[in-house]
Amino acid sequence: MPLISSTDMLQRAREGRYAVAAFNVHTLEMLQAVTEAAAETQSPLIIQSTVGTVKHLGPDYLAAAATVAANRTGLPIALHLDHCTDFNLIVKCIRAGYTSVMIDASMHPFEENAARTSKVMEVAAAAGVNVEAELGKVGGVEDDIVVDDRDALLADPDECEAFMARTGVHTLAPAIGTAHGIYKGTPNIDFKRIAAIAERVAAPLVLHGGSGIPAEQVKLAVSLGMAKMNIATELRIAFSDAIKQVFASRPDENDPRTYMIPAKQAVKQLAIEKMQLCGCIGKAAQLR
């Protein structure tokens, strides 16, 4: 099965009141680990990369690896570009084979955000690619995008409705109190706001900053309309910690195949836990 657009996948998730887990990967082993997690649990999967990772590995390498994942497993898998502010890079990724892109123009006023999103919608429509946009500002650090907590603005439900009418974007990431990175305390998620946005927006909603949100809060957010949950930081911590453990006990280890095995296993295990939390386990069959 080739890579697919995430539009249908996420619409079904929203209708079915579950979320698809979207994992930021940085290496081939991380990509393999989340794919194995999806295969073992028969879950739909979104593999995503930040702009930094696209620049680090190359969109063609990432698209080729994700294509192999989809072909080998026969699972519904989408390859998504996370938080991109650069129109040209979005086009480059679509040409390389990405089936979903996020245009993050949330730092601009409403009109400018809508105009930039609409421009991406035009090129994506021709390629059958899903588009995600953001309203409000998600706090924290995501690669080279840094949003101070005091600057993190929550999305306004009426503006969300107007934004959808204006752009027709497939998926919307409204800022609702989550942040990128690991939370210092309990995240202050505005569930009433999620409900108000979901009432006005029929499209799948995207939960950013999914690392470390308590299980019951994730479940509540998903039940209210969040149909995609992004997990980045937690995954790379699991990957790196497993490697650190190998070197702590065997400082002379020099075979990447050896220390990548526990790292891959740690990512796979965590990915399965997140899929359970999202409720997407076993949902691959309906998308085939």
Distance CA 13, CA 282 (A): 12
Q: Is 193 in the site for Zn ion (CB under 5 A)?
A: no
Cα–Cα dist 90/80, whole Å: 10
Length of the chain in residues, anyone? 288
To the nearest whole angstrom, how small is the minimum distance from the Cβ of residue 256 to Zn ion? 29
- Output 75 or 84, the one with its CB closest to Zn ion: 84
What b-and-e string marks burial along 19-51, b requiring 16 or more CB atoms within 10 Å of the CB? bbbbbbbbbebbbbbbbbbbbebbbbbbbbbbb
Rounded least distance, CB 24 to Zn ion, Å:
9
228 touches Zn ion by CB under 5 A = no
Closer residue to Zn ion in complex, CB, 30/263 = 30
* Calpha distance 213→219 (Å, rounded): 10
Query: How many Å apart are CA 138 and CA 232, to the nearest integer?
Result: 14
Query: DSSP secondary structure string, 144-211?
Result: TEEE-GGG--PPPHHHHHHHHHHH--SEEEE-SS-BSS--SSS----HHHHHHHHHH--SPEEE---T
Nearest-approach distance from CB 229 to Zn ion, in angstroms: 11
Asked whether residue 83 is marked as a ligand-binding residue, the answer is: yes
Identity of the residue, 208 or 283, whose beta carbon is nearer to Zn ion in the bound complex: 208
Nearest CA among 1, 61, 73 for reference residue 25: 61
Please report how close the Cβ of residue 223 comes to Zn ion at its closest, in angstroms: 21
Any binding-site annotation on 225? Answer: no
Distance in angstroms (rounded) separating the CA atoms of residues 36 and 145: 30
Closest distance to Zn ion from the beta carbon of 173 (Å): 7
Nearer to Zn ion, 36 or 142 (CB): 142
* Catalytic choice (60, 82, 190, 252): 82
Using rule CB under 5 A, residue 208 touches Zn ion: yes
Q: Is 208 annotated as a binding residue?
A: yes
Backbone φ and ψ for 254, nearest 5 degrees, come out as -135, 15
Q: Is 82 a catalytic residue?
A: yes
Which lies closer to Zn ion via its Cβ, residue 70 or residue 81? Answer: 81
Phi-psi region of 140 (alpha: psi -120 to 50; beta: other; left: phi over 0): left
Contacts with 185 (C-beta within 8 Å, 6 or more apart), sequence order: none
Site residues for Zn ion, window 128-167 (CB under 5 A)?
142
Residues belonging to the binding site for dihydroxyacetone phosphate are 181, 209-211, 230-233
Residues identified as active-site: 82
Binding site for Zn ion (CB under 5 A): 142, 208
Which residues are annotated as part of the binding site for Zn(2+)?
A: 83, 104, 134, 180, 208
